[in-house]
Amino acid sequence: MKLLVAVKRVIDYNVKPRIKPDGSGVDLANVKMSMNPFDEIAVEEAVRLKEAGKAEEIVAVSIGPAKAQETLRTALAMGADRAILIQTDEDVEPLGVAKLLAKVAADENPDMVVLGKQAIDDDSNATGQMLAALLDWGQGTFASKVEPQDGAVSVTREIDGGLETVKLQLPAVVTTDLRLNEPRYASLPNIMKAKKKPLDVKTPDDYGVDITRRLTITNVAPPPTREAGEKLESVDALVAKLKELGVA
């Protein structure tokens, strides 16, 4: 089985984002960037499937600026075999990402595309579903367990009511949730080996995909400052306060 894993370069999850003074977006200057945590889980799952003998090749792909090569090198150090960077300085929307991934899938002909359920920068949670629609493949979203079978894959997914298990015929698209696995840290020897693994650089024009934005950001603002709480001396005071606020 051949796996295609999509990864995205985002602000590190430990960093508190700063809004640009003009409110046009998030300030990325001198900010630590890393691989999207959900995509780390996708890479880890692909590597585990390979280690279990259920996959032969893992191809990592990313869409972003030249510095996204660092993100792909991380994926290679974790265990991916080769990587593809579709280089662009534009902020590509989920539909554009899905179209580019569909083109890569057509070239690479994978048995399964694995990617995070969402990116922590825009929280769109749309790329995987759009990709499955464009490819006309089955999809298993929010996966907490992935079990390949003969010509199929069983995906246990998290839903509001608990867990749901679906069986998809390959090829298929799987998006990963937090409880699927715990991503490994890349060892120093593997980081050094990753520098020698092949990484191809393409552009959206190479795939004939128009990535022109269809949405316009009018303003970005931080959430309102949370007001301090009020300490009450008794339950009766609490009830009276709730009635005063109209919530009881």
List pLDDT tens digits, range 193-221.
999 999 999 999 999 999 998 888 888 88
Q: Say what angle helices 94-108 and 127-135 make with each other, to 10 degrees.
A: 50
pLDDT at 248: 60
Residue 240: partners with Cβ closer than 8 Å, 6 or more residues away: none
Confidence of residue 30 (pLDDT cuts 50, 70, 90): confident
Q: What is the pLDDT of residues 7-23, one digit of tens each?
A: 999 999 998 888 888 88
pLDDT at 64: 94
Q: How many CA atoms within 13 Å lie on the side-chain side of 217?
A: 12
For the entire predicted model, the pTM comes to: 0.87
- How many other C-beta atoms lie within 10 A of the C-beta of residue 142? 22
Radius of gyration of the chain measured on its C-alpha atoms? 21
pLDDT at 215: 86
Confidence of residue 103 (pLDDT cuts 50, 70, 90): very high
pLDDT at 17: 87
Domains delineated in the chain: 2-215 (3.40.50.620)
Q: Which is it for the CA torsion 134, 135, 139, 142, positive or negative?
A: negative
User: Residue 204, Cα to own-chain centre: how many angstroms?
Assistant: 19
- Average of pLDDT values for 105-121? 95
CA atoms of 5 and 141, how far apart (whole Å): 14
The average confidence (pLDDT) of the chain is 93
Q: Which is it for the CA torsion 74, 40, 210, 25, positive or negative?
A: negative
DSSP per-residue letters across 60-115: EEEEE-TTHHHHHHHHHHHT-SEEEEEE-SS---HHHHHHHHHHHHHHH--SEEEE
Q: What is the pLDDT of residues 131-167, one digit of tens each?
A: 999 999 999 999 999 999 989 999 999 888 889 999 9
At 146, list the tokens. 């992935």
